[in-house]
């Protein structure tokens, strides 16, 4: 398994440990034509449910060299997925899952906090080694 | 010159031809620490002025294989740059410059129009061969 896939699995198990039922892996979202459908699906969103709450989870490993570059892509995806979900599955709340160290070094900085606020990002912060969720930023 | 750089030059000349004065190339925007500063600068925004109007232009070539992937990155950058500009140079309006063919095949579709509207994207659509601006989407 690639490191990226390992993180995917980590988040899945960490959600299960908190009582979430994984309802779709991947969760496909379809909108406005076949091309978008395939590419949106390629990111492998997770779908999960707990006590009647439905979430979609975009899992990011941030294992590349540039955190800010990966953030740009993650943010563009997040906002695109969110607008498609709002049109298609409005009851499902989208979260971006990020590693704890990246949360500390990037998201919990002056720029990161501004971006979370302005883009209304919702985060699941996971500890990849322990395989647990450290924090939900709602 | 790489194709990417050629497009940068094309947009610059096309703006000049419409009476814009290029005031900064690259336009550096700084916010919340050195790391963000460098990486934001690396994207080489243009700054331009005409009749007291100030704009910043993020030039995208979309020469990669996946338009939707490039869109995610471009959208994340655009929204990040815009929030930093709002804090630092609020009088400067940000535009995303995109090739005409990509505008037609992607931005002027059901998903593209929804994204433009929801993300409040402002576009400069350029014809790369003719070296002219085809359309402003404000």
Q: State ipTM.
A: 0.90
State whether residue B120 sits within 8 Å of chain A by CB. no
Higher pLDDT, B126 or A25: B126
What does pTM read for this prediction?
0.91
Q: Does A32 touch chain B (CB under 8 A)?
A: yes
Instruction: Write down the pLDDT at residue B88.
Output: 84
* Residues in A touching B71 (Cβ below 8 Å): 76, 80
Do residues B16 and B22 lie in contact, with contact meaning Cβ atoms separated by under 8 Å? yes
* pLDDT, averaged across chain B: 88
All residues of chain B having their beta carbon less than 8 Å from the beta carbon of residue A119 are: 79, 83
- Whether the CB-CB separation of B19 and A101 falls below 8 Å is answered with no
Classify domain B3-137 at the CATH topology level: Trna Endonuclease; Chain: A, domain 1 (3.40.1350)
Q: Determine, for residues A72 and B76 on separate chains, whether the beta-carbon distance falls below 8 Å.
A: yes
Residues of A in contact with B36 (CB under 8 A): 68, 111
Q: What is the pLDDT of residue A22?
A: 97
Element (H, E) at A61: none
**B47-54 contacts: CB < 8 A, separation 24 or more?**
B47/B22, B47/B23, B47/B92, B48/B15, B48/B20, B48/B21, B48/B22, B48/B23, B49/B20, B49/B21, B49/B23, B50/B18, B50/B19, B50/B20, B50/B21, B53/B93, B54/B23, B54/B89, B54/B91, B54/B92, B54/B93
pLDDT at B42: 56
Residue B2, pLDDT score: 67
What pLDDT, in 10s, does the model give residues B31-71?
Answer: 766 555 555 545 678 999 999 999 999 999 998 878 888 89
pLDDT at A19: 97
Q: Which of B3, B1, B2, B15 is nearest to B45 (CA)?
A: B15
């Amino acid at each position: 398994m690639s490191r990226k896939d390992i993180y995917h699995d980590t988040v899945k198990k960490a959600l299960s440990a908190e009582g979430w039922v994984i309802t779709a892996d991947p969760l496909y979202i379809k909108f406005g034509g076949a091309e978008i459908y395939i590419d949106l699906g390629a990111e492998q969103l997770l779908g999960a449910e707990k006590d009647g709450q439905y979430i979609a989870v975009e899992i990011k490993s941030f294992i590349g060299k540039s955190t800010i570059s990966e953030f740009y892509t993650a943010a563009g995806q997040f906002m695109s997925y969110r607008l498609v979900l709002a049109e298609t599955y409005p009851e499902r709340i989208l979260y971006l899952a990020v590693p704890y160290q990246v949360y500390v070094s990037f998201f919990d900085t002056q720029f990161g906090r501004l971006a979370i606020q302005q883009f209304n990002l919702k985060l699941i912060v996971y500890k990849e080694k322990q395989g647990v969720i450290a924090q939900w930023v709602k």
